[in-house]
């Protein structure tokens, strides 16, 4: 039986600002629904990813906006990812060279931190 992570909630304080930010860096806006007053659900998917993120209003959860610091995304080229983020006006840190990969980090407008990892050549085919 396969277990697939397909949706991760990201706590944000301003849904429209978050949607604009993630769209600007290349995420696809899959859904933006308000099924009833007071509840809004936005789902966005990074390019090429099978896993999406979700945020909105009154979705529950216990994380405060800006406290998420656990999402790591694999990219084919850390330098290109850094350039794409900076071209979109995002202050990104990188490239951090480690034996286990090359890393770029950035934060969304709330301060939720993301890490992008380019796998080392010896590990790229091991997945």
Q: What is the pLDDT of residues 36-71, one digit of tens each?
A: 999 999 999 999 999 999 999 999 888 999 999 999
Give the predicted TM-score (pTM) of the model.
0.90
Instruction: Give the separation between CA 100 and CA 39, rounded to whole angstroms.
Output: 41
Task: For residues 49 and 73, state if they share a domain.
Answer: no
Task: For residues 74 and 93, state if they share a domain.
Answer: yes
Give the end of a domain, one of 45, 61, 77. 61
Q: How many domains does the chain fold into? A: 2
**What is each CA distance from 108 to 20, 125, 126, in whole angstroms?**
11, 30, 31
Task: For residues 47 and 74, state if they share a domain.
Answer: no
């Amino acid at each position: 039986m396969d277990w697939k992570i397909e949706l991760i909630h990201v706590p944000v304080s301003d849904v429209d600002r978050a949607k604009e930010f993630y769209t600007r860096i290349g995420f696809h806006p899959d859904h933006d629904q308000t099924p009833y007053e007071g509840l809004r659900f936005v789902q966005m998917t990074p390019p090429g990813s099978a896993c999406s993120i979700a945020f909105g209003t009154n979705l529950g959860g216990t994380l405060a906006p800006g406290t998420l610091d656990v999402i790591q995304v694999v990219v084919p080229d850390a330098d290109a990812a850094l350039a794409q983020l900076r071209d979109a006006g995002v202050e990104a840190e990188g490239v951090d060279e480690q034996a286990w990969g090359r890393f770029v980090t950035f934060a969304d407008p709330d301060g939720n931190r993301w890490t992008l990892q380019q796998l080392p050549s010896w590990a790229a085919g091991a997945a």
